[in-house]
Amino acid sequence: MTGIDGTGSDRGPDRDHDSDRDHDSDHDSHRDPALDPSLDALLDAYALKDERRTGWQLRGVDDPESVAAHAWGVAYLVLALGDRFREDLPGVDLDRALRLAVVHDVAEAETGDVATRADSTADTVDPDVKEAAEREAMADLAGPLPDRVRDAWEAYEARDSPEAVLVKECDLLDVCLQAVVYERGGRYDPTAGEPDAFREYDALDEFFATTASRLRTETGRDLFERLRDRYRAARDAEE
């Protein structure tokens, strides 16, 4: 290459070569996991796809749903049924509620799923201990990600907005829907789970018992009654 003084110059090619090296170095840095902690956080969160819902396992459900599948169910209920709750929850923002639904159980990627029990003989986890563990988990899982991830989870945990209440209602109703699916499909064998964990309830009755008193809206309670009727019809048909 000819230099500005008319003599041969190799500064141009060297500069281009250096630029290529710099580009390759930058490209390599983007591929270095240590320099992109958000990828590690996402990989950790993907454990939800394999984390099985504990309550179904205890009851001997064959191939029970994962926590991620449950989260999808909650989000789908928000989308499909959200408008029905507007009288109970004036001003509810369904788009915001969807964000809360997606992240509401993300902490369980680290803590695992803890079943809510109505059986007075069942082993339980102290709620304060559970909350502390989940907050610590979210610091890891959401720390490297945009603030909206942690903010959505915090909003759900606070339960002081129409969106958070809606998501919790759908969280509870999803359990009932899933129980109907398992009952209709004959998908569980109590003897294959942990029978001693269900001393006060038969079949999948406890999943409805843990839901009934926790619903806060008339719409949620009405949907619950309709689902319980379907569950009982399926349960009694097998007797």
Q: What is the pLDDT of residue 8?
A: 45
The β-bridge partners of 8 are 2
Is residue 4 a part of any domain in this protein?
Answer: no
Is residue 121, in this structure, part of any structural domain at all? yes
What is the per-residue pLDDT for 114? 86
| Tens of pLDDT, residue by residue, the chain (239 residues) | 444 344 444 444 454 544 454 444 444 445 665 679 999 999 999 999 999 999 999 999 999 999 999 999 999 999 999 999 999 999 999 999 999 999 999 999 999 998 887 666 667 778 889 999 999 999 999 999 999 999 999 999 999 999 999 999 999 999 999 999 999 999 999 888 787 777 788 999 999 999 999 999 999 999 999 999 999 999 999 76
Domain contains 5? no
Residue 59: the pLDDT is 92
- State the pLDDT at residue 118: 64
CA pair distance 64, 219, nearest whole angstrom: 28
Would you say residue 119 lies in a domain? yes
| Domain assignment of residue 28, yes or no | no
Apex 184 CA angle, 181 and 186, nearest 5: 100
In a domain, 92, yes or no: yes
Total number of domains in the chain:
1
Which residue range forms the structural domain that includes residue 182? 38-237
Residue 19 domain-assigned?
no
The answer as to whether 168 is a domain residue is yes
pTM: 0.82
Q: What is the CATH number of the domain that holds 197?
A: 1.10.3210.10
Residue 138 and residue 150 in contact, taking contact as beta carbons nearer than 8 Å: yes
